[in-house]
Amino acid sequence: MNKIGLFFVLFFLLIGYRQGVSQCAQNWDEAQSEFKEGHLYSIPSLLGDCIDNGFTKPEKIEAYRMLTVTYLYIDDPYGAQNSFLGLLKLDPEYRIKPSDPIELEQLSKEFITTPILSWRVRGGINYSLISSLYKNGVGNTNLDTDRYKGLIGANIIGSLDIHFNKVVSLGIDADVGINKYSYTNKLFDDSNGNQNSKDPQTFSEWGYNVGLPIYLKFTYPGVKYYPYVYGGYSPNYNVYTSSIASYSIVQGENINPIGPKSLDISSIRNRFSNSIILGGGLMRRFGYKYVFIDVRYKLGLSNLLNKETQYAFLSEPDKYPEIVEYSSLYQKIDDSFRESDLSLTLGFVWPQYKPRKKKTVTMGSMFNGIFKKKGKDE
Give, for all 378 residues of the chain, the pLDDT tens digit.
Answer: 455 555 544 444 444 444 445 688 888 888 888 888 888 888 888 888 888 887 888 889 999 999 999 999 999 999 999 999 999 998 888 888 888 899 999 999 899 888 899 999 999 999 999 998 888 765 555 656 789 999 999 999 999 999 998 899 999 999 999 999 999 988 766 656 565 567 788 999 999 999 999 999 999 988 889 999 999 999 999 999 999 999 888 776 677 778 789 999 999 999 999 999 999 999 998 877 899 999 999 999 999 999 888 888 788 888 888 998 888 888 888 889 999 999 999 999 999 988 888 875 444 544 454 455 544 444
Distance between CA 52 and CA 71 in Å, rounded? 18
Q: Quote the pLDDT of residue 365.
A: 47
pLDDT for residue 149: 95
Nearest Cα residue to 245 out of 305, 204, 199? 204
Q: Which residues contact 110 (CB under 8 A, 6 or more apart)?
A: 81, 357, 358
**Other residues' Cβ atoms within 10 Å of the Cβ of residue 155:** 23
Kindly provide the b/e burial profile for residues 196-209, where b requires at least 16 CB atoms within 10 angstroms of the residue's own CB: bbbbbbbbbbbbbb
Model pLDDT, residue 318: 84
Q: In three state form, how does the secondary structure of 287-343 look?
A: CCEEEEEEEEEEEECCCCECHHHHCHHHCCCCCCHHHHHHHHHCCCCCCEEEEEEEE
Encode burial over 158-180: b for 16+ CB neighbours within 10 A, e otherwise: ebebebeeeeebebebebbbbbb
At residue 142, the pLDDT reads 61
pLDDT score of 305: 94
pLDDT at 54: 78
Which parts of the chain are beta strand (E)?
111-112, 117-134, 147-163, 168-188, 198-211, 214-219, 225-251, 254-264, 272-286, 289-300, 336-352, 356-357
Count Cβ atoms within 10 A of the Cβ of residue 2 and give its class: 0-12 exposed, 13-18 middle, 19 or more buried: exposed
The answer to whether residues 264 and 240 touch, using CB atoms and an 8 Å cutoff, is yes
Instruction: In whole angstroms, give the CA distance from residue 323 to residue 79.
Output: 75
Query: How is the chain split into domains, by residue range?
Result: 2-111, 117-356
pTM of the model: 0.78
Quote the pLDDT of residue 35: 86
117-356, CATH topology level: Lipocalin (2.40.128)
Is 249 exposed, middle or buried, given 0-12, 13-18 or 19+ CB atoms closer than 10 A? middle
